[in-house]
Structure 1
């Protein structure tokens, strides 16, 4: 019988495999654009029920659009604004079950209903964020959060 805990265990194992795939894919490559491009493509292939996945990078005190998969997106996001800017300001992962209920949400894609944003931190400095949107409310679980945080930690070792 397939239970929610079995699903979570399988999902955890899949995130471990995903992180290993990332490591193999970008091992030895120093170009940040190439690494983030492949990371966003890998996540887009792995994750279901999403409509946008990509990176925003810190530049001159604000987030600027980086490599992504999905529809065109907002180019610049001030720190402290929207889900991405709040994740930078707090240096914490943001899991938002319903973006329409998030004060100050920046709607780049009207189809997005839930979002997870993981800050990319190296040596105590925020380099940017990984941003993933879904057209479903409450799409991202604690297992997704943990798996994606591990993915970002692996990515940071190659930036």
Structure 2
């Protein structure tokens, strides 16, 4: 499967100690967006628990106006509160959805934990309806575990 081919590439990116963490996160986003056909936008948001907001730190895909998201708002904001994966097969069916692009049909958000605390998340937008499987969730959980090691 494609995900198994991406794992060593991702580990190589994260092993580079010469680059900033933000640059490494951008490279991870670019790797995923370029190699998974239905990952049309990939980004990492990080939590500011004092302000109860998420802040976009790295992404690949079209630029977004949604660089700061309040906890509880949209799919990302809901994951900041629930600490659980959120798979949205059809964004039009979601009441609490923040539209980043009219082409987005589905979204998957997986929380990123460090020392047991939800410090952020990886957010995937897809222009394909209902593309995400449990395999995507397990892979992105693994990605977040690897990313947490460098944070």
Question: Greater helix percent: which structure?
Answer: 1
> Of residues 7, 17, 20 in structure 1, which corresponds to 2:5?
17
Q: Which runs of 5+ in 2 are unaligned?
A: none
Q: Which runs of 5+ in 1 are unaligned?
A: 1-9
Counterpart for residue 45 of structure 2:
56
Structure of higher CA gyration radius: 1
Q: Distance in 1 between matches of 2:130 and 2:34?
A: 20
Q: Distance in 1 between matches of 2:34 and 2:134?
A: 20
> Of residues 75, 79, 82 in structure 1, which corresponds to 2:71?
79
TM-score (norm 1): 0.86
Q: CA deviation at 1:28?
A: 4.7
CA contact (8 A) 2:32 2:39 kept: no
In the alignment, structure 1 residue 67 sits paired with structure 2 residue 58: yes
> Of residues 100, 121, 127 in structure 2, which corresponds to 1:129?
121
Q: Distance in 1 between matches of 2:57 and 2:9?
A: 21
CA contact (8 A) 1:19 1:154 kept: no
Q: How many residues align?
A: 147
Question: Deviations 1:64-116 (Å, cap 9, x if unpaired)?
Answer: 11211111211111111111111111111111100111121001111111000
